[in-house]
Structure 1
Amino acid sequence: MDRRLIWLAVGAFATSTVAFVFAGLLPLISASAKISIAEAGRLMTVFSLSYAIGTPILSTLFGAVDRRRVIALALLCFIAGNALAAASGSYLGLLGAQIVMGTAAGLFASTAQAAAIALSSPDHRARAVSAVLGGTTLAVAIGAPLGALIGNLAGWRSTYLFIAALAFFCLAVLWLRLPHGISGVKLSLKERVMVIGRPGVLPSLVVTFLYLTGGFAVICYFGPLATQGAGMPVAMVPAMLLVFGLGAIIGNYSSGQLADRLGATRLVALSLTGFIAVCLLLTAVLEFAPSHLAGPLLIALMLPWGIIGWMFPPAQASRLVAVAPELASLTMPLNVSAMYFGIALGSFVGGQALELAPPAELGLIAAVFSLAALGVLAASTRQARRRGFQPG
């Protein structure tokens, strides 16, 4: 494997850690900035919306620019956003930092994948993209708990400084190692978006959106789940994230093998069904388990949740590619935008719910969104079969 792909993956690790570490920083930011949990959660909503909206727009604007320069620009802006967050003395300053980080992270992700494809031979392109996306998985497994631990030990501002330093190191290495002249693809925003009209694409994006909405209605609020729901100290949140991340590694690794055996559509359905069960079990634990058992049981649930949850993204991506293989370069960025629109809505809905109900109810909300995703999946699968298309 080209070693330059490793540094693209490290860049993906740094830019993705911000999204997943927020669950561990939420109680710390809320207490430090003297804002409610819901207000702190809106920072994640703003980051995700900036990512989802900014990625296709910036990819269009910089589509024909040398990939090396675009990667450098994206990382510079990302570093600036983290520095702004660390130095911010107000809620508005934090919101502005989230906008900068979200748009920069989205631009880096789309450009890094394009660069990985350009650096690889045609028969190794899928492996190259997988290597870069592996940085995101490691962000869940290692970056989020490590960032939360740093936040608990040295303050949440230190987490942003750590991520900025890591991104700066990646910037220096990639600027030296990436070759000049990696050209992009110049497409209009209309050309990028019109692919939604292809049969099967929109329902697949809706499934992604609904699933991530339900997932992040809970994931974004792991801190309140632990402290308010299970009565654990905030210092235990990094442990929760670590167990969840270990499950994510297992789920991500096993997804490809299971998809080959069961089919991607069936695996997505199983992932959605399993996620609904875990969410209902989470609510039952927080509602009915004795106080001395609620915390350990909540942590134990993180492993199967991570496994089930991270079986979904690779299998869902495989389904979307199968719908229109020749348009994969366009449908994959749209799928990422659907993911971050879902994260934005999930973090907003979860924050609003916490202002009206105890943390245990978040599991029910997540289950409802996943049940809706399962319904869309079933309907779109039946429609595809009527068209004579056999989904994977």
Structure 2
Amino acid sequence: MNNKVYLLAIAAFVVGTVELILGGILDLIATDLHLTLAKAGYLISIFSLVYAISAPILLNVTARFERKKVYMCTLLIFLVSNLISAFSTSFYILMAGRALGAAAGSLIFVLSLTLAARIVEPQYKGRAVGIITMGGSASLILGVPLGIFVGNLAGWREVFLFIAILTAIVMVAIGMVMERVQPIPVVSLKRQFAALWNPKMLAIHVTTLLVLAGHLTLYAYFTPFLQETLGAGSTMVTFIYMMFGIAAVAGGGIGGMLSDRLHPAKAIVIVLIPFIVSMAAIPFSIELPLIAFMLLLSIWSALSWTVTPVQNSLIMKTSPETAETLISTNSGIAHAGIAFGTYIGGIVINHSSILYNGWVGSVLILLGLVSAIYAISRKEEAIQAAA
């Protein structure tokens, strides 16, 4: 395995930190800029929205250029976006910095995935994708807590300065050790849309949408779930989130290994079945001893992050010519699933009890499994013919 994959994973880690960190320092920003928490929350929404739609557009615009150069230029823009955020004097300047960072970050993450798969031997592609996913999930247990610590110690602006410094270090390292990577032959927009609208690929994307929505139905409200069902205090909640993050990092690696050792089509079914069971069991597990409850949460967390590398490996296997574009659209679909699941979870809470979120989420994931089975039952040659 090419060790340069780990450098790309660090870049994914930095992007993940920027995406997730705001929830931990939102109160500091709101107080400093004299905003309500609701208005400050738009900074999270704008990041997700821009992130979801940017990568396919930017990939198409940069398709003809050498990939290392594109990667370095995008990292530079990402660095500038964090400096804009750090030195912003108003809500709207900060929002502009977040939007620019989301656009650059979405392209960095997709390029990290595709470059990692291209610089390793074919038998290691799944593991390479898994390592990039691990980099993103590592931001849950390292980047976000570190950012919150910096924010509380020095201020929220210093968090963005810290991220800018990390980005600069990554740029120097990649500039020194990464070789030039020529672009793959440009695929016309017509062929890209043909691949995207192929029934097999649509089903893969629907699976991503439903699985992420099902997961977020509970995970978006995980803190109030723990507080209401277990009476968990802040220390216990923090500990559980750290354990969740560690399991998530492991899940990314497991997903990559499963994709290499099995066909990704088999791996996605093997992952989704226990994922459904573990999530459906969570509401029942609150009566179990704490150690059993924590073990179940670890399994749920690991499986939730196993899905992404398996899905991306399946896309690469199914349509290698248009993999960059399709992975970027799948990333956008994932963010749409996050928003959809959060909305559904809120409806469940408003009309019944937070205890039922896990069951509703497991039903959505079950529908995702049905979509996945439909996708893998379609012949791979069909999508190549469409492209």
Q: TM-score of the superposition, structure 1-length normalised? A: 0.76
Change beyond 3 A, Cα 1:274–1:126: closer
Structure-2 residue corresponding to 1:390: none
Q: Deviations over 1:41-91 (max 9, x none)?
A: 654443222122100101111112232332222222222333444455665
Residue 64 (structure 2) pairs with residue 64 (structure 1) = yes
Moved more, 370-379 or 115-124: 115-124
Taking the TM superposition and a 5 Å limit, the aligned residue runs for 1:40-55 are 43-55=43-55
One of 326, 335, 352 as aligned partner of 1:331: 326
Taking the TM superposition and a 5 Å limit, the aligned residue runs for 1:71-82 are 71-82=71-82
Residue 364 (structure 2) pairs with residue 369 (structure 1) = yes
Change beyond 3 A, Cα 1:324–1:186: closer
Count matched residues: 380
Structure-2 residue corresponding to 1:198: 198
Change beyond 3 A, Cα 1:275–1:23: farther
- 1:182 & 1:259 partners in 2: Cα distance? 26
- SS of residue matched to 2:63: coil
Change beyond 3 A, Cα 1:102–1:344: farther
In the alignment, is the contact (CA less than 8 A) between 1:56 and 1:192 conserved in 2?
Answer: no
Instruction: Give the C-alpha shift of residue 10 in structure 1.
Output: 1.4
Instruction: Give the C-alpha shift of residue 137 in structure 1.
Output: 3.8
- 1:116 & 1:261 partners in 2: Cα distance? 18
Change beyond 3 A, Cα 1:51–1:229: farther
Moved more, 358-367 or 310-319: 358-367
Measured on the aligned residues, the alpha-carbon RMSD in Å equals: 4.0
Q: Deviations over 1:273-299 (max 9, x none)?
A: 4333443444456xx769xx99x8876
Q: Deviations over 1:152-183 (max 9, x none)?
A: 55555544333222112112322344446744
In the alignment, is the contact (CA less than 8 A) between 1:42 and 1:348 conserved in 2?
Answer: no
The one-letter code matched in structure 2 to 1:252 is G
In the alignment, is the contact (CA less than 8 A) between 2:8 and 2:112 conserved in 1?
Answer: yes
- 2:348 & 2:142 partners in 1: Cα distance? 29
Instruction: Give the C-alpha shift of residue 212 in structure 1.
Output: 1.3
- SS of residue matched to 2:56: helix
One of 309, 315, 334 as aligned partner of 1:320: 315
Q: Deviations over 1:248-292 (max 9, x none)?
A: 23323333555677764454335334333443444456xx769xx
Instruction: Give the C-alpha shift of residue 364 in structure 1.
Output: 4.3
Residue 289 (structure 2) pairs with residue 310 (structure 1) = no
The one-letter code matched in structure 2 to 1:18 is V
In the alignment, is the contact (CA less than 8 A) between 2:26 and 2:37 conserved in 1?
Answer: no
Q: Deviations over 1:305-353 (max 9, x none)?
A: 2122122223333443444455544433333232233234334555676
Q: Deviations over 1:83-139 (max 9, x none)?
A: 444455665455433322221111112333444456556676666555544422433
- 1:35 & 1:248 partners in 2: Cα distance? 32
In the alignment, is the contact (CA less than 8 A) between 1:27 and 1:234 conserved in 2?
Answer: no
Change beyond 3 A, Cα 1:163–1:300: farther
Change beyond 3 A, Cα 1:8–1:283: same
The one-letter code matched in structure 1 to 2:71 is I
Moved more, 243-252 or 373-382: 373-382
- 2:82 & 2:35 partners in 1: Cα distance? 20
In the alignment, is the contact (CA less than 8 A) between 1:41 and 1:351 conserved in 2?
Answer: no
In the alignment, is the contact (CA less than 8 A) between 2:66 and 2:182 conserved in 1?
Answer: yes
In the alignment, is the contact (CA less than 8 A) between 2:187 and 2:321 conserved in 1?
Answer: no
Instruction: Give the C-alpha shift of residue 151 in structure 1.
Output: 4.5
Change beyond 3 A, Cα 1:225–1:71: farther
In the alignment, is the contact (CA less than 8 A) between 1:229 and 1:360 conserved in 2?
Answer: yes
The one-letter code matched in structure 2 to 1:250 is A
- 1:194 & 1:207 partners in 2: Cα distance? 19
Structure 1: unaligned runs, 5 residues or longer:
388-392
Q: TM-score of the superposition, structure 2-length normalised? A: 0.77
- SS of residue matched to 2:64: coil
The one-letter code matched in structure 1 to 2:361 is A
Structure-2 residue corresponding to 1:247: 247
Taking the TM superposition and a 5 Å limit, the aligned residue runs for 1:95-134 are 95-116=95-116, 119=119, 129-134=129-134
- 2:127 & 2:340 partners in 1: Cα distance? 31
Change beyond 3 A, Cα 1:190–1:357: farther
Structure 2: unaligned runs, 5 residues or longer:
383-387
Structure-2 residue corresponding to 1:18: 18
- 1:170 & 1:278 partners in 2: Cα distance? 37
- 1:231 & 1:83 partners in 2: Cα distance? 40
Percent identity between the two aligned chains: 28
The one-letter code matched in structure 1 to 2:197 is G
Moved more, 50-59 or 216-225: 216-225
- 1:352 & 1:76 partners in 2: Cα distance? 41
Change beyond 3 A, Cα 1:379–1:228: same
- 1:147 & 1:357 partners in 2: Cα distance? 35
Change beyond 3 A, Cα 1:88–1:326: closer
Taking the TM superposition and a 5 Å limit, the aligned residue runs for 1:377-392 are 377-381=372-376
- 1:266 & 1:126 partners in 2: Cα distance? 13
In the alignment, is the contact (CA less than 8 A) between 2:117 and 2:128 conserved in 1?
Answer: yes
- SS of residue matched to 1:79: helix
- SS of residue matched to 2:196: helix
Instruction: Give the C-alpha shift of residue 204 in structure 1.
Output: 0.9
